[in-house]
Amino acid sequence: MYDSLIKYINSFASAPLTESGIEVIKKTFIPKKIRKKQYLLQEGEVCKYMAFVVKGAMRQYSVDDKAAEHIVRLSIENWWAGDRESFTMLTPSIYNIDAWEDTDALLITKADMSLLNQIPAVIQMTRKLDDNHAFAYQKRLNAYISLSAEQRYEDFAKQYPEFLQRFPQHIIASYLGITKETLSRVRRHAVKK
């Protein structure tokens, strides 16, 4: 259960976690099974945990006044789930996070996270994650303001092919900011080319 997290942390570190570091990790993260359709976070709540996905798939989305869901993030194995703003600022979230598949996750609280931020490997991980996070957001943002639906889909398919396997098209469409019908047409068109 913890193996994948430890491997994950080490992949960011210049020197691997020590034995005692591993112990701390194991004591700190809370294993949790989240069944399909169960919530990790609901709109209006404060996000108490960041979740590392060991196995499964989750989605984060806002719901508009017409009850339409808008997916802002998808997480599968070795990704995180959680609303960073709510988590760090302790403010009510505007997002929902739920499991799309039965999921094994490792949860951590804010207090424990700041404790862990003494461990060198963890510090390096969070730095790198912050960087990668910022890069990815910048790219995605640029895609929204400069690319058509079709180009955005192609970019997405190239960059995250696993996601296409794990989530149905209406989820992908929502993530891309288009309707499922538009995505369906875009794909047909792309195949023809």
Residues 16 and 114: their CA atoms lie apart, in Å, by: 20
What's the CA gap between 88 and 83, in Å, rounded? Answer: 9
Sequence-distant (6+) residues with CB within 8 A of 172 are 153, 156, 163, 164, 183
Give residues with Cβ within 8 angstroms of 119, minimum separation 6.
17, 21, 24
Residue 168: name its binding partner from a second copy, DNA, none (Cβ under 5 to 8 Å by kind). Answer: DNA
| Least CB distance to a second copy at residue 148 (A) | 11
Q: Which residues bind a second copy (CB under 8 A)?
A: 62, 64, 68, 70-72, 84-85, 88-89, 94, 130-131, 133-135, 137-138, 140-142, 144-146, 174-177
Q: Does 162 bind DNA (CB under 7 A)?
A: no
CB of 54 vs DNA, minimal distance in Å? 21
Identify the three-state secondary structure at position 67: coil
**Closest distance of CB 82 from a second copy, Å:** 11
Q: Does 170 engage in binding with DNA (CB under 7 A)?
A: yes
| Structural tokens at position 155 | 């970019």
> Residue 28's binding partner, choosing from a second copy, DNA, none, with beta-carbon cut-off 5 to 8 A by kind?
none
Residue 85 binding result from DNA, a second copy, none, given CB thresholds of 5 to 8 Å by partner type: a second copy
Q: Which stretch binds DNA (CB under 7 A): 10-18, 91-99, 122-130, 184-192?
A: 184-192
Residue with tokens 């599968």: 76
The reply on whether position 150 binds DNA by CB under 7 A is yes
Q: How many residues bind DNA (CB under 7 A)?
A: 18
Report yes or no: 180 and 170 within 8 Å, Cβ to Cβ. Answer: yes
